[in-house]
Structure 1
C-alpha cells in the first residue's frame, strides 16, 4: 500500500443542517500517502516495455516540423482541456464550445458550463507556460493553475485556495463516514504538496513514469475542495513538458481517460492500494492511445488544410503573400474564427483581413455562421467534424 489509513472520529456540527441520521459522531478512515520523493517502483519487464513504447511514440510525434505542429498544438491543447472537463461531467458540444470561444474572444456572453470549460483551457495554457519558464515548479504554481481553472466555476470562491477542512469522495454530503475515499487531513496537505513538487524536480525516473506517479499522488492528496481532477491532469503535461518529452504539443490523454473513466479511476485506486504496476500500465497505455490519436489527426488536418488551399487556388488564386494563405495555415487552431481573431494571429491590417475572409468564404473554405459584416463568425469547412471525432477519441475515417 502506498500509505496508511488512520481512524478518525467525525463530530457533528450543530450549526450546519443535516438529516437526523447524520447528526451523530461517526468513525472514518483517512488515507495518509507515503512521500513521493525517493519512491522508485519496481515494475515488471512487460510494463517497462509499454512505458518505453509510449515514450518513443511521444518523441516521434514531437520530432515533426514545429511549423506544421504549431496550429495542431493549440488544437490538441484545447482538446485535452475539454476532455479533462468531460471526465468531471462537464459536457459541451464541440460546435457550441467553438462558437462560445469565438464569442468570448470578442467580449460576448457565455453560459456557465462553456465559461468553465474555457477556463480549463486557460489553466492548461498557464501550466504549459509555467512549465517552460519556472526554474522550479512549486506549490505556488499549482495554486495559480487551480485559480485559473476555477475562475468561472459556480464555486469560484474556492479558486486558488488549498483546503483547510476534510474532504471526501463518494458517500453522503454531510460526513465522510462511508465515503469511497477520504484524502489526508488538511494539516498534511501542504507538506505533501511540497514533497510532490520536490519529486517533480527529481529526474531520476523515466519522464512518463514520473508523470504517472505525480498525477496519482496529486489525486490521492486531493488538496482542493473542487477541481482536483482537472488540476491533476494538467500536472501530467507539466512533467512531460519539463522533461522534454512533449515540447511542442499536449497529447490528449484525458480523451482516453474520459472514454473509459472507470478504468482510469480503477487505476488511481490501484496506485493507492500498492498495485503501482496496474496504474503504470493503464497510464502508459492511455498515453500510447493518445499519441496515436494525435498522430492520426495531424495527418488528417494536414490533408484538410491542403484541400482548403486547392479550393482557394481554384476560386481566386491570390498572390503568394496574401493574407488568405496566412489564415488557412492558422485555421486548425481556431475552429471558429472572426476578423478580430484573424487579425490578432496574423498581424495583418484590418482591410486585408476582411478581404481575405471574403475570398475564403467565396472559395467555400469558410462558412459564415453568425453576425453582420463587422462581427461575423466563420467555421472552416470540415474542421469541426474532425474535432468532434477527436474529442470523442475516435480515429479519423
Structure 2
C-alpha cells in the first residue's frame, strides 16, 4: 500500500442544534469528529503498487481509445463534447437526487430565445440540472487557470436557481460546519472546521497546478482532497466532479471527447465511498485504483455513446436527402448537440420564412427525426430529436438503475 498522509480526526464538543429544553433526553452539547486532510501541494507521489499502475495504464488506454474513436467520427465531432458532458452532468445531478425529464432539460438547454414575459419559469430541478450541464461544459472547455475564483464562479452558476441556499453562500467558502448523514451527531463524515477551508483550498489550487503527476492520479487526488475539504455548504459533489473534467486532460483537444467519470464512479457507489474513505486514511493505492477503474468504465460508456450518436447521424442522412450546407443539413447536424428546436429559431438562424420553417419541421417529423414535445418555450411549440435524447440518457439511466439496485443515496 502506497502511504499518503492520513487525514487527522479531530474530536470537538459543539452545541447541539437539535437540543430542546423540554426534552430530558436532549443534550445541550454533542461530540463530533472532524476530518482534516493534510496539505498536499508539495508532496511527492509515492511509488504505487503494480496493480494500481495497471489500473492507471488501462484508464489511459481507454481514454486514448475514446479520443481516437471521436476523431474518426466525422460529421459529429463538434457535438461530442456537449453530448458526453451532458450525459455526465445529468448523472452527476441525479446522484444528488436532482432530476428532471429528458425533454424538459432539452428545451431548457436549447435556449430557444422566447422572451415572453408571461412564460412560466422552468421547474427548479430543471434549472439546476441545466445549470450543471452548462457549467460542466464551461469548466471542461475552458483553458483558464484553476484558481479560487474558478471554483466560486462555477459554484455561483451551479446553484443560482436553488431556493434553499442563502445568497451569502453562493460562490463563497462555507462559514459553518458541513457533514454527511442524517444528523451531525451520527454523521458518516464531517469536514474540517470552516476556518481551515481557505488555507486548504489554496493548497489544493497549488496541487492542481502541478504538471509532474499522472493525469488520472492527478484528478483522483484532487477530487478526493476537494471532497474531504468540502468547502461549500452545498454542491460539493457536483463541483468536485467538475474538477475531474478540468484535470483529467487539460489539453484543448480533450474538449471533443470528455470522459463521463460520474457514470464510472457511481457504477460502483459503495466502491466510490470506500475509495474516498481509503484516501482519508492514507491508502492512495486503493483510491487511485477505484478512480482509474471509474475512468475506464466511463470511457467505455462514452465510446458506446459516440458510436450510437454517429449511427443516428448517418441514419438521419439516409432518411432525409439534402445538399450539404443547406438549412436542413445544418439543422440535422445541430440536433445532435441540441436536440430541441422551434419554428422561430429556424426562421432566425437560417433566414427563412415562417412557411419554410414550418415545412422543414414537418419534413423532419415525417421522417421520424422530430416529434412535437409536450414542453413549450413560452408560447412556442417545441420539437425534439427524441432518438438523440434517448441516446444521451443511456448513461444516466444505467447509473440510476445501479443506485436503485444498491439502495445508495449518493
Output the TM-score relative to the length of structure 1: 0.87
> Is the CA contact (8 Å cut-off) linking 1:81 and 1:120 kept in structure 2?
yes
Does residue 183 of structure 1 match 2:185? no
CA apart distance, 1:60: 2.9
Q: 1:104 to 1:119 in 2, by over 3 A?
A: farther
Does residue 54 of structure 1 match 2:56? no
Q: Counterparts of 1:354 and 1:18 in 2: how far apart (Å)?
A: 68
Q: 1:259 to 1:330 in 2, by over 3 A?
A: same
Q: Which moved more, 1:254-263 or 1:300-309?
A: 254-263
- Counterpart of 1:153 in structure 2 is 162
Q: Counterparts of 2:328 and 2:88 in 1: how far apart (Å)?
A: 29
The counterpart of 2:272, out of the listed 233, 253, 264, is 264
Q: Counterparts of 2:97 and 2:378 in 1: how far apart (Å)?
A: 37
Does residue 141 of structure 1 match 2:146? no
Q: Counterparts of 1:288 and 1:56 in 2: how far apart (Å)?
A: 8
SS in 1 for 2:198: helix
Q: Counterparts of 1:30 and 1:183 in 2: how far apart (Å)?
A: 6
- Counterpart of 2:29 in structure 1 is 25
Q: 1:341 to 1:57 in 2, by over 3 A?
A: farther
> Is the CA contact (8 Å cut-off) linking 1:256 and 1:393 kept in structure 2?
no
Does residue 119 of structure 1 match 2:131? yes
> Is the CA contact (8 Å cut-off) linking 1:123 and 1:149 kept in structure 2?
yes
| Unaligned segments of structure 1, at least 5 residues | none
Q: 1:339 to 1:275 in 2, by over 3 A?
A: farther
Does residue 170 of structure 1 match 2:172? no
Q: Counterparts of 2:270 and 2:320 in 1: how far apart (Å)?
A: 46
- Counterpart of 2:407 in structure 1 is none
| Unaligned segments of structure 2, at least 5 residues | 400-410
Alignment of 1:347-362 (within 5 A): 347-351=349-353, 353-362=357-366
The counterpart of 2:295, out of the listed 283, 287, 296, is 287
CA apart distance, 1:14: 9.8
- Counterpart of 2:403 in structure 1 is none
Q: Which moved more, 1:53-62 or 1:223-232?
A: 53-62
- Counterpart of 2:380 in structure 1 is 375
Q: 1:374 to 1:6 in 2, by over 3 A?
A: closer
Does residue 331 of structure 1 match 2:335? yes
- Counterpart of 1:226 in structure 2 is 234
SS in 1 for 2:11: strand
Q: 1:276 to 1:29 in 2, by over 3 A?
A: same
> Is the CA contact (8 Å cut-off) linking 2:82 and 2:137 kept in structure 1?
no
> Is the CA contact (8 Å cut-off) linking 1:59 and 1:245 kept in structure 2?
no
The counterpart of 2:78, out of the listed 70, 79, 83, is 70
CA apart distance, 1:58: 1.4
Q: 1:111 to 1:374 in 2, by over 3 A?
A: closer
- Counterpart of 2:284 in structure 1 is 276
CA apart distance, 1:16: 9.2
Q: Counterparts of 1:128 and 1:86 in 2: how far apart (Å)?
A: 19
Q: 1:386 to 1:84 in 2, by over 3 A?
A: same
Q: Counterparts of 2:252 and 2:213 in 1: how far apart (Å)?
A: 13
SS in 2 for 1:365: coil
RMSD between aligned residues: 2.8
Q: 1:343 to 1:18 in 2, by over 3 A?
A: farther
Higher relative contact order (CA 8 A, sep 6+): 2
The counterpart of 2:91, out of the listed 83, 92, 103, is 83
- Counterpart of 1:235 in structure 2 is 243
Q: Counterparts of 1:247 and 1:72 in 2: how far apart (Å)?
A: 8
> Is the CA contact (8 Å cut-off) linking 2:218 and 2:247 kept in structure 1?
yes
> Is the CA contact (8 Å cut-off) linking 2:81 and 2:137 kept in structure 1?
no
CA apart distance, 1:177: 3.0
> Is the CA contact (8 Å cut-off) linking 1:104 and 1:110 kept in structure 2?
no
CA apart distance, 1:160: 1.0
> Is the CA contact (8 Å cut-off) linking 1:308 and 1:328 kept in structure 2?
yes
The counterpart of 2:214, out of the listed 184, 203, 206, is 206
Does residue 34 of structure 1 match 2:46? no
